A = this chain, B = another copy of it.
Amino acid sequence: MINFSINKTYFLQALNATKRAISSKNAIPILSALKIEVSSQDITLTGSNGQISIENTIPASDENAGLLITSTGSILLEANFFINIVSSLPDITLDFSEIDHHQVVLTSGKSEITLKGKDVEQYPRLQEIETDSPLVLETKLLKSIISETAFAASLQESRPILTGVHMTLNNKEFKAVATDSHRMSQRQVTLDHAANDFDVVIPSKSLREFAGVFTDDIETVEVFFSASQMLFRSEHISFYTRLLEGNYPDTDRLLVKTFETEVTFNTAVLRSAMERAHLISNATQNGTVKLEIVNNGVSAHVNSPEVGKVNEELDTVGQSGEDLTISFNPTYLIDALKALKSEEVLIRFISPVRPFTLTPKDDKEDFIQLITPVRTN
């Protein structure tokens, strides 16, 4: 039966990272539990919500963990409850000791807390992925690709495939695309080294957890795929997510090369103007903003008869091409500008009824976003 002692702060960090995969309101009740497996070398904490699973390993060799294992074994404990108890303990170390009937005694300072656990056999077995020839990615790069694309995926389950981010590797060319059919965001990167080609659709919800699990001190992650799952792995953390089934729509056909009107804005200035427009357009219904581009001047207009209107001249950095008037939902432009890290943004238009294209001013290839306008008369 399990017996170990450990540094409380270190243990809590690992517990909280694992908890990101655990939902207390899961349809499968046993998934609200945390699995603790103690070997002679390390402790492995496992959490899963059926969509994503996290395994977190605490090695006895890590001096900061202050881990002393005297007896091995496995047990299930109610995750939230257990983590709250651990964080309430008075001393800097805690002793974890299993007694009869899957009970656990936590001792810390003069406090002794007995908790009921469950037989580890009740926990579902997680699928395994073959871990040969990994794709190695910088954590920072992967986080940035996720933040540039995942927001554009759909939140509605009416077309489940659109709730994912389409990631492909084609001979060193890595591409991530997301669209909810109103807007699209695509990020491309050329990798230094080759890996096996792949073509997968990853739930955007899973990707949004990624940044919380892999902290900035983890420099690289290895990425593995199976037909139905994906694994991101660092030295101590394995993060599994299921993949979405089905064919992702062909988004390449949406990218065009010729435009009629081009305007460059300061990203922050345009965003702040769109946020004002959105306050008015959104006050009574999901309204639109109208952009008027005329010779040497761009202005934004909203008219919500019940609450009021906005008229604003927009400062531009540069402007060329035909005059154009186009209407769209300002939320999509605000989201797109939030995802842009560049100080200036180039917006290129074809016509009032065709999607317009946003790119960082100095890079029209690697990061492209599209927004579909709304037809008005």
Query: Residues of A at under 8 Å CB distance from B?
Result: 78, 81, 84-85, 88-90, 103, 110-116, 272-273, 275-276, 279-280, 283, 306-315
Contacts and interface: CB of A to CB of B under 8 A. Distances in A.
B116 A272 contact: no
Contacts of A314: 110
A308 B113 contact: yes
Nearest to A88: B276
A276 B85 contact: yes
6 contacts: A78-B307, A81-B283, A89-B276, A113-B276, A114-B308, A116-B306
Contacts of A276: 85, 88-90, 111, 113
Contacts of A312: 110-112
Given A90-B272, A110-B315, A116-B306, 18 more contacts: A78-B307, A81-B283, A81-B307, A85-B276, A85-B280, A88-B276, A90-B276, A103-B308, A110-B314, A111-B312, A112-B310, A112-B311, A112-B312, A113-B276, A113-B280, A114-B308, A115-B307, A116-B307
Contacts of A307: 78, 81, 115-116
Nearest to A81: B283
B308 A275 contact: no
Nearest to A283: B81
A272 B311 contact: no
B279 A111 contact: no
Contacts of A85: 276, 279-280
A113 B310 contact: yes
A364 B110 CA distance: 30
Contacts of A114: 308-311
Across the A-B interface, the 5 shortest Cβ-Cβ residue pairs: A115-B308, A110-B313, A111-B312, A88-B276, A114-B308
B115 A272 contact: no
A88 B309 contact: no
Contacts of A113: 276, 280, 308-310
